[in-house]
Structure 1
Amino acid sequence: MKNPQSILRDTFGFDDFRVGQHEIVDAVIAGKNTLAIMPTGGGKSLCFQLPALVRDGLTVVISPLIALMRDQVRALQEAGVAAGALTSGNTEEETQAVFDALSEGRLKLLYMAPERLSGTATFNMLQRSNVSFIAVDEAHCVSQWGHDFRPDYLRIGELRQGLNVPLAAFTATADQETREEIVEKLFAQEAPETFLHGFDRPNIALAFDVKNSPRQQILNFVAARKGLSGIVYTGTRAKTETLANALRDAGHSACNYHGGMEPEARREVERRFQQEDGLIVCATVAFGMGIDKPDIRWVAHADLPKSIEGYYQEIGRAGRDGAPADTLTLFGPDDVRFRRTQIDEGLAPAERRIADHGRLNALMGLAEALGCRRVQLLAYFGETSEPCGNCDLCDTPADTFDATTPVRMALSAILRTGEWFGAGHLIDILRGDKTEKVLARSHDTLPTFGVGTEWSKREWQAIFRQMMGHDLVRPNPERHGALTMTDRARPILRDEEGITLRRDTIQATRMGPAVRTLVGEEDAPLLSALKAKRRGLAERANAPAYVIFNDKTLIEMAQTRPQTLDDMARIGGVGAKKLERYGAEFLQVIAGEVAAMHPQRRKMAGKSEGSTYDRLLEVQSDLMRGEDGTAKPLSCSASLLARLVKQRPRDLSGVERVLGDKRADRFGDAFLEVLREA
C-alpha cells in the first residue's frame, strides 16, 4: 500500500495533516463507512482525495456544484492526479476523455453531480468501472427539510448498496437532527464511524447589528474594508442588484448573483470572483456552496439568514486561509416576520414547521445574545468554549436589564388566552387597548389587561422577539402563528427563575420607518397558511396560484375568518364553482374541521335561500314524527327541499305539487310559514 504521508507531501505539498484530518483519512483508507463534520476551511476534500490515491480502484465523488467540481479536478490534474468530472458544463472532448480514462482504468477520482444518478445508465457505467469507494461532499444536502436540500442526494444510499462499497460523507453544517438524517438516508441506519471535529473558526470575527438605514450600514462596513474580497448576502434577488449598484456608485468593484440569472452570467461571476482581487459579490444563498476561494476577507448579511446552520455555513466562506476575517449580520423585526412567513407558507408538515420556528428562534437568540456570541454559537452545535474576545459583544458588552416582570406578564397573557393568539393581540391586552377583537372576546376583563402600559407597542414587540430568541415561546403553525409556551418558560411563569433581556436592541427598534404589510400582524400567519394551501392546490393542478384564488381574496379570508361555507361564499372572488371546488379546503385551514354540507345546500351558500333551506330542515326535524311525536317518521329529500325553496309556493296546493300529499299533510302549513317569513 502506498504511504499516505508521502502522498500528502509529494502530491498535495503539505508536511503535516491539519487537526482532525489524519484519523479521518485512516478510516477512509481502511474502507470504513465514515461521517465527518468539519468546519469550513478544515480540509474536507483532502480527506477523500488522498485515500483515493492510496486505495485500489475508482473513487466516485458526489458534489452539488459544477464550479467546485471543475476547480478541484483542475487542481488535481495540475498535481498529476488522474481525475475527471462528468458535468453539464463539459465540452464533448472533455466528456470523451473521461469515458476513455474510465474504460482504460486510468481514472482515480470521478466527480459527478447527484442529478446524474437519476438514470440507470450511470449505475451500469459505474458497475463496470471498478468503483471501490464513494465520497459525498456537502452531505447535509440529503436533509429533506434543510436549507440546501437536493432531491437526487436521496439516491446515493441506493447507489452505495447497489455497488456494495463503503461511503464517506462530509459536511461542515449539521446539527444532531441533520446528522441522524444523513445516517438514515446514506447509510441505511448502519452506524458509520463519526468524526465531529469542532465548529470553531476563531479567526472569524462575529458581529450583529439592528437595522437602522441598512444600506448605509453595509456601505460603511465595506468602506472600512475597501479593496478586500467579500460577499454580501441578501434575502431577495432584487436586493442583490440594488446593493451591487450602490457599492459600485461608492467606488467598489461589485457584481450581483442569484439563481434567476442565466447560467452563463452566473459562471462569469464565479470566474471573476475566483480571479479578481477585491471583487464584492452581492448574492442570495444560491452563491457560495463549495466556494474554494481562500482569501475572502469578510461576509456581510444585509438580511437575517434562515437558521444558525445557514448563518454558520455562509460566514464560513470567509477566512478559509486562517487569516483574520470579519462578519456583520443586520437584523430587524421585518426580517423575522419575513422568515416566519417563509416557514408558514412552506408545504412541510406541522411538526417540521414547528422545528423550523425553533431553529429561527435559535438564530434570533444569537442576534440578541447577552454575552459572547461564539459561546452561544458553538453551544448550539453541542460545544463549549470560553469567551472569544473576537466578537462585538466581547468588545462592547450588551446593555441589559432584569426583564422578569414584563416577560411574566406576557406569559400570563398567553396562558390566560389559551395559547390561541399572536403577539399583536397579546400586546393589545397588555397595553389595555380596547380593540374590537379584545372586546369581542371579553379579554378586557382578564387580570393581565392593561398591566403593561409602561412599555410602548414597539418595545413590547421587541420583548416578544427576545422571548422567542430565548425559546420561551414558539409560533404554532396549526394555530396560525399563535404563541405557545415551551418548557423553558414555565419556571419564569411560576416565579422560580428570572430572565435578563437586552435594552439596547429594544430601544433600537424605534428606529426606521414602518413597513407596509398586506394584513395586520395578527392575520399574517393565517394568510401564510392560506397561501400554502393555495400553492399545494396549484401544484396539484399544474396551474398558476392566482387561478385558485388571487391575493385579494386570500387577504379578505384572513381578515374576516369565515366560519361556514355561507360566510365563505360572501368573500370577494369566491364564486359558486370555486366554492364547490375549493371552499371546504380553505375553510378547514381557517376554522378547522368543517361539517359536511349536502351539495344541494352548498349551491345556496351565501344566498338568502340558504337560510330558508336551513329553517325548513329545522321545522322538518321538529315534525318528523308528527306534532305529538308518535307518528311514523317521515322526511323530505334535499332535492325536494331545494325545489321548495326555489319555487316558493304561496299556498298548500303549491306545496302539494312539490312534496306530494303525504308530506304536504305533515309539513305543509309549517313550511308555508317559513316561506312567507323568508
Structure 2
Amino acid sequence: MNPAASSRALETLRHVFGYDAFRGEQAAIVEHVAEGGDALVLMPTGGGKSLCYQVPALLRPGCGVVVSPLIALMQDQVQALTQLGVKAAYLNSTQSNDEAAAVERALVGGELDLLYVAPERLMTGRFQNLLDHAHIALFAIDEAHCVSQWGHDFRPEYIQLSVLHERFPEIPRIALTATADDATRQEIIQRLALADARVFLASFDRPNIRYTVVEKDNPRKQLLRFIRANHDGDSGIVYCLSRKKVEETAAWLRGEGMRALHYHAGLDASTRESHQTQFVRGDGIVMVATIAFGMGIDKPDVRFVAHMDLPKSLEAYYQETGRAGRDGLPSNAWMAYGLQDMVLQREMIEQSQAPDEIKRVERRKLESLLGYCEAAACRRQVLLRYFGEESEPCGNCDMCLNPPQTWDASVAAQQALSTIYRSGQRYGAGHLVDILTGKATPKVTERGHENLSTFGIGKDISATQWSALLRQMVAQGLVGVSEHGGLLLQEECRPVLRGEAAFQARRVRESAPSGASSVRREIEFESDEARTLWAALRQCRRSLAEEQEVPAYMIFGDATLKLMLEKRPMSLDAMYQLSGVGDRKLEAYGMAFLEVIQSHQRQHG
C-alpha cells in the first residue's frame, strides 16, 4: 500500500474505530484486500478479524457484502457499526418485506458501507441480480470453516459460495475463520476457489486465557467452587452436552444463588431470543447451554467458559473457549472431564449415519482432544501444536502453574491390561477398577470376576488413580473403546504388556480443589477510591446502554473503561487519546463519561 493509502487506512482506524495502530497481521491484510487481492485469514477469536474486512470496505468504493451464518451475529455487528457512525445494514428472515425492500434500495442506491447477509439469501438468483445493479467493494465470508465437511460446524450452503468468484471475478474476497487445522484450511481454499488467495495465518495463541482441566468428581460442586473462587459476579458460559443437563445445571446454579439462564435448540424461538438478549446486554449472567449457543455471540466481556462435558474436537474446544476474553482481559477456560465423556463421544460417532471416512476423521479428532486432556505438559503447547504452531511453555495454564507428578506405572499398566483381557474386553472402566481394587460388587460376583487372578491385585492404588491410569492408556492408544463403551486391547499395548516398554503415568491430585490452578481473574484495584470510580463508570455505561437498548459493551468495552480508570482524562481531547474512543463515540458519549470522572475527582481529589 502506498504511503497515502496507508495513511487513509490508519485515519479510518483512528477516527471510526478509535485505535491508533493495527495489530499483528491486520495492516498487511487490510492493504492486500483494499488493493483488490483475495485473502484467507486465520485469526483467533478476539484477534480483530472484523477489522480486516470492515476497514477495506470503508476504503474501497462501494458496499462490502459480508456473508454471515447467524442472524444474531449479523444483527450485533450492524448495531455495533451503527454506534461507530458506519452505514451498515443486514438482510435476514426477521425483517418484514418493507424493511428488506428498504435495505435493498439502499444497497443499489450506494447508501451502504457494509451489508450483512446469510449465505442462503446470497445464493438466490434474485439477490445476485440485485448485486449486478449495486457497486460492491468486496465480499467477506465469515466463519469460513463452515465450508468443511470434516469440521465441527459444517453448513451445506457454504459450499456454493464459490459462485462469487465465477460471477464477480473482479471483486476481492476475504474468507475468515478462527478455527481451522491444515486439512480444513485446504478444504476452504478448494471449495471457495481461493487457490490464488494470499493466506494470512496469525498466531492461534490467546495468552489472556488460562486453560484448566480437572478430573470429574461431583462436577456440579466443582463448577460452583470454580465460579465462586474465580468469577463471582462475572459473565460466563457453561457448556453441557445434552439439553436435559443444560436445564438441570442452570436450575441448580439458580438454587445456589446465581443468575443463570439456559439455552438450547429445543427451546421455542422467543425464549431463546429472550435469554440470549439478557445475557448479551446484562452483567454477571451465567449462560448454561449446548453448542447451539455461542457462535453468534459477540460479547467481549465473557470472563470464563466452562465445559461440563467433553466437546467433539480440539477445534470445537478452541472455538468455544475462545468466546472468553475477547476484549483481551484475563479470562478462564475450565473443563471437568472423565473417561465416561470419551466413551459417550465415541458412542455418538459410531452410532451416527456418517460415512466410514468421516467417522475415521472424527475418531482421530477425538483422540487428539483426549491427548490434550491427559497432557502432562503445558496445555497451550498441546493446543497450539494441533494447529501447527510451536510455542514455549506458557506459564499460565494448570500444568505450568502446578506441574503434575509422574510415576512409573509399567506394572500397574500390565495389571490393567491383563484385567481387560481376562474379563473379556467388554467392560467399562468402573467395573475394571472394581476388579483391580478387589471390590466385590454384585456385577463383579454375578460374572465370577472375583475369581480372576487380577482381582484385588491393585488394592494399594486408589480407585481414582486407577481411573486416571485407564484414561491415560486410552489417550496413548494402548487401550481402545468399543461401540458400547467397553475397553479393549490395542496392538500398541504389546510392548508394555510384555515388559519391553515402560509406561509413565501422570499422578492425579486427589486432594486438590477443583479450581486449584485458577486464580481470581478480575480487574485489580489499587484502592477503594479506584473501585468506586470503576463502579461509577460501569453505571454510566449501563444507563446509556439501557436508554438505547443496546448491550453495554457497545457503548465502551471493559478495556476502554479500564483505560479511563487508569488515565483519568479530564478533557475531551484527553478522552480521545484512549484506545476505543473514535469520533462518533467521543461525540455521543465522551461528555457523559468525562462528567463522571470529573465529579469523582472533585469528591476524592
CA 1:45/1:484 → structure 2, altered by over 3 Å: closer, same or farther?
A: farther
Contact 2:260 2:288 in 1 (8 A): yes
Cα distance between partner residues in 1 of 2:351 and 2:109: 52
Does the alignment pair 1:77 with 2:56?
no
Contact 2:86 2:113 in 1 (8 A): yes
Matched ranges for 1:584-595 at <5 A: none
CA 1:352/1:405 → structure 2, altered by over 3 Å: closer, same or farther?
A: farther
- State the shift of 1:408 in Å: 5.8
- State the shift of 1:342 in Å: 1.3
Name 1:88's counterpart in structure 2. Answer: 93
- State the shift of 1:94 in Å: 3.2
Name 1:502's counterpart in structure 2. Answer: 506
Cα distance between partner residues in 1 of 2:402 and 2:507: 14
Cα distance between partner residues in 2 of 1:124 and 1:191: 26
Cα distance between partner residues in 2 of 1:22 and 1:130: 25
Matched ranges for 1:224-243 at <5 A: 224=229, 225-243=231-249
- State the shift of 1:229 in Å: 0.8
Cα distance between partner residues in 1 of 2:126 and 2:259: 45
Name 2:351's counterpart in structure 1. Answer: 345
Name 1:259's counterpart in structure 2. Answer: 265
Partner SS for 2:17: coil
Output the aligned Cα RMSD: 3.6
Name 2:133's counterpart in structure 1. Answer: 128
Name 2:338's counterpart in structure 1. Answer: 332
Name 2:401's counterpart in structure 1. Answer: 395
Matched ranges for 1:38-437 at <5 A: 38-164=43-169, 165-187=171-193, 190-224=195-229, 225-407=231-413
Contact 2:39 2:175 in 1 (8 A): yes
Partner SS for 2:20: coil
Contact 1:208 1:328 in 2 (8 A): yes
CA 1:494/1:507 → structure 2, altered by over 3 Å: closer, same or farther?
A: farther
Contact 2:415 2:454 in 1 (8 A): no
Cα distance between partner residues in 1 of 2:405 and 2:190: 45
CA 1:400/1:77 → structure 2, altered by over 3 Å: closer, same or farther?
A: same
Cα distance between partner residues in 2 of 1:258 and 1:5: 42
- State the shift of 1:506 in Å: 9.0
Matched ranges for 1:550-565 at <5 A: none
Question: CA offsets, 1:587-627, max 9 Å, x none?
Answer: xxxxxxxxxxxxxxxxxxxxxxxxxxxxxxxxxxxxxxxxx
Contact 1:354 1:474 in 2 (8 A): no
Question: CA offsets, 1:279-298, max 9 Å, x none?
Answer: 11111111111321111111
Cα distance between partner residues in 2 of 1:383 and 1:490: 33
Partner SS for 2:306: strand
Name 1:539's counterpart in structure 2. Answer: none
Aligned residues: 497
Matched ranges for 1:427-576 at <5 A: 450=454, 453-454=457-458, 462-472=468-478, 474-475=480-481, 485=490, 498-504=502-508
Name 2:567's counterpart in structure 1. Answer: none
Cα distance between partner residues in 2 of 1:459 and 1:293: 40
Cα distance between partner residues in 1 of 2:176 and 2:207: 21
Contact 1:358 1:474 in 2 (8 A): no
Cα distance between partner residues in 1 of 2:26 and 2:81: 18
Residue range with higher mean Cα deviation, 389-398 or 336-345: 389-398
Q: Which has the larger radius of gyration?
A: 1
Cα distance between partner residues in 1 of 2:167 and 2:425: 50
Cα distance between partner residues in 1 of 2:510 and 2:148: 36
CA 1:425/1:371 → structure 2, altered by over 3 Å: closer, same or farther?
A: closer
CA 1:39/1:471 → structure 2, altered by over 3 Å: closer, same or farther?
A: farther
- Corresponding residue to 1:21 among 26, 51, 61: 26
- State the shift of 1:395 in Å: 2.4
Letter in 2 for 1:110: L
- Corresponding residue to 1:8 among 13, 24, 30: 13
Cα distance between partner residues in 2 of 1:199 and 1:473: 31
Partner SS for 1:382: coil
- State the shift of 1:112 in Å: 0.8
- State the shift of 1:171 in Å: 0.9
Partner SS for 2:192: helix
Contact 1:70 1:85 in 2 (8 A): yes
Partner SS for 1:328: strand
CA 1:360/1:8 → structure 2, altered by over 3 Å: closer, same or farther?
A: same
Cα distance between partner residues in 2 of 1:105 and 1:50: 17
CA 1:266/1:187 → structure 2, altered by over 3 Å: closer, same or farther?
A: same
CA 1:130/1:473 → structure 2, altered by over 3 Å: closer, same or farther?
A: farther
Contact 1:297 1:326 in 2 (8 A): yes
Question: CA offsets, 1:58-81, max 9 Å, x none?
Answer: 322111111111111122223232
CA 1:126/1:471 → structure 2, altered by over 3 Å: closer, same or farther?
A: farther
Contact 1:357 1:474 in 2 (8 A): no
Name 1:440's counterpart in structure 2. Answer: none
Partner SS for 1:207: strand
Cα distance between partner residues in 1 of 2:40 and 2:421: 44
CA 1:380/1:449 → structure 2, altered by over 3 Å: closer, same or farther?
A: farther
Letter in 1 for 2:54: Q
The gaps in structure 1 that reach 5 residues or longer are 434-447, 509-678
Partner SS for 1:135: strand
CA 1:229/1:482 → structure 2, altered by over 3 Å: closer, same or farther?
A: closer
Cα distance between partner residues in 2 of 1:474 and 1:138: 34
Identity, % of aligned pairs? 45
CA 1:53/1:482 → structure 2, altered by over 3 Å: closer, same or farther?
A: same
The gaps in structure 2 that reach 5 residues or longer are 439-451, 513-605
CA 1:122/1:414 → structure 2, altered by over 3 Å: closer, same or farther?
A: farther
- State the shift of 1:485 in Å: 4.3
Cα distance between partner residues in 1 of 2:501 and 2:436: 24
Question: CA offsets, 1:418-473, max 9 Å, x none?
Answer: x9978779969x9799xxxxxxxxxxxxxx98599437888665433212323455
Contact 1:463 1:506 in 2 (8 A): no
Cα distance between partner residues in 2 of 1:506 and 1:157: 53
Cα distance between partner residues in 2 of 1:295 and 1:232: 15
Cα distance between partner residues in 1 of 2:480 and 2:38: 38
- State the shift of 1:494 in Å: 8.0
Contact 2:41 2:176 in 1 (8 A): yes
Partner SS for 1:32: coil
Contact 2:263 2:288 in 1 (8 A): yes
